[in-house]
Structure formats: structure tokens, C-alpha cells
Amino acid sequence: MRATFIIICMMLNVSVYAQELPLFATIPVSVDAQHTPPLSEKITFSYVSKNTELVVNTLQKIDNLHVQKNKSDIEVTLVRNLTLPGTPIEQHSKGSFVIDLDEESTQSFIKGFKQETHPQANTDILQNIQTYVHHYIEDPTYLHGFHIASKVATTKSGDCTEYAVLTTSLARHVNLPARYITGIVLLEESQRVHAYGHAWTEVWHDGHWKILDAALFGAKATQLFYLPIAELSNEGPGYMFSTVEAVNNFPAKIENVRNYFIK
């Protein structure tokens, strides 16, 4: 299964820049010739995919995401901090094969978070979780594939998939429902736009899903846009099938990124 995921990453053109940012797949992206940076709170772009019908059916289920099918692409209008619809279910609050909370190494990882938490610490629990996971992984690399929580806790190594697994584990341990998300992130830096296949965590907090991204926590970006494609709904031994299904919806490229305006 690990080999399968690495092959998928290679097909998606993994870059050196992606390795520096603990992401796992670079996606070719272009900016509209008429666009004037920086990106605003709402953007539009062309989502080019060989699986147009499948992608449209998937994206149309996401609230606050406008999707229009064209002859050769899909036009997507995206707002910042977009999350998947729905409310927490039982799975979002307990351990599983992937989020193996009871394993010794996972418990050791969790214990470290408790030791770092004290009355003088930042009272924002979401920021504390991201900070702890961000610094816990000492070897950011995209060469591992997808490891379960106990393995990541032991190796302290991985890409965005491993950051998301640990973040989801820690959130559930502190009684915050959490789900592992696979999708696309668009990152603007120094007036350049980059796009990546990515993984992060959505945490239910104060009655809403909120994005936690320990991999990009503190990244030097003027804007970050998250396009969630799928939740890892199968957290059992067959979890890789769920991941591959999500990756199949990734675009071959993203074109004509621009700020949204009312015509």
C-alpha cells in the first residue's frame, strides 16, 4: 500500500519546493494574465481534470463552493477556510486503526502535549495543537507514504499526511471531534501562487468545523486557500482505498487563478 501511494505522488510531479513545505504533491498552476495580486478572500480558477464528471459530482456537494462545468474544464469559485459539510459523528471522537490512540508511542506523543500545557501557555487550544505537532515532527519529508499515528509518533517524520494524522489524534484525545481531510491548497507567496495536493485536519470547535494545518503552520504566505475534496471516512485497515479515491479527484492542473468579481 505504501508503494502505491508513493507512485501516485510521483505521478503528481512532486517537487523540491513541496519537500521544503512538507507537502506531498505539486500541481501545475497559472495565474490569469489580467490578475493583479494579492489574492482576495474569494477567488476563481479553472480546475482541469480527466475525471470531469466525477469531480463535478464531488465538488457540488460542498457548501459555499460554486462549481460550473465547461467544455474543457471546471470553473471553481472558492472562499478561504472552506470546510466540508456535516456535523460530528461517533468516529470523529474515538480511536481507530489509523488514529490508534491506545498505542504506546501515540500515548507518549500525547503525554508530551500535556507536559507542555501550563496556565501561562497560549489559551487557544487549536493553536497549541498545531504548534505542538508542527515542532514534534523533526524530519519533514514526502518519502514515507501514509503512516498511522503510532508510526508517525515513533519516527517523527513525514509529509502533510503524517502531520494531519497526529493533529487528528491529538484533537480527539482532548475531546475535540476531528476528521482527516484530503484536498488542494493554494498558497500565495511573494506574489506567486502555488498549488499542492495536501492533507489537513478539520476540528469541531465552538459549533463549527475549523481547519488545523500543522504542516503549514507559520508558513510565509499572504493567503492560503483550502479546497477539501474528501474526508478519510475509512479509518480501518483499508484506509488506503479511501485515500486513493480522493487523490483520483485531484486536478491535472489549475489555470487562470484570479480574484473573484461580480460581472
The predicted pLDDT at position 170 comes to 97
- All structural domains of the chain with their residue ranges: 2-259
Angle, CA of 168, 173 and 177, to the nearest 5°: 55
> Contact 147/158 with Cβ under 8 angstroms?
yes
Q: Which of 54-63, 134-143, 148-157, 167-176 has the lowest mean pLDDT?
A: 134-143
pLDDT of residue 46: 97
The answer to whether the peptide bond before residue 37 is cis (omega within 30 degrees of 0) is no
Q: Which of 96, 200, 91 is nearest to 149 (CA)?
A: 96
55-108 per-position pLDDT tens digit: 999 999 999 999 999 988 999 999 999 999 999 999 999 999 999 999 999 999
CB of 235 within 8 A of CB of 91? yes
What are 234-247's pLDDT values in tens digits?
999 999 888 887 88
Overall pTM > 0.85 = yes
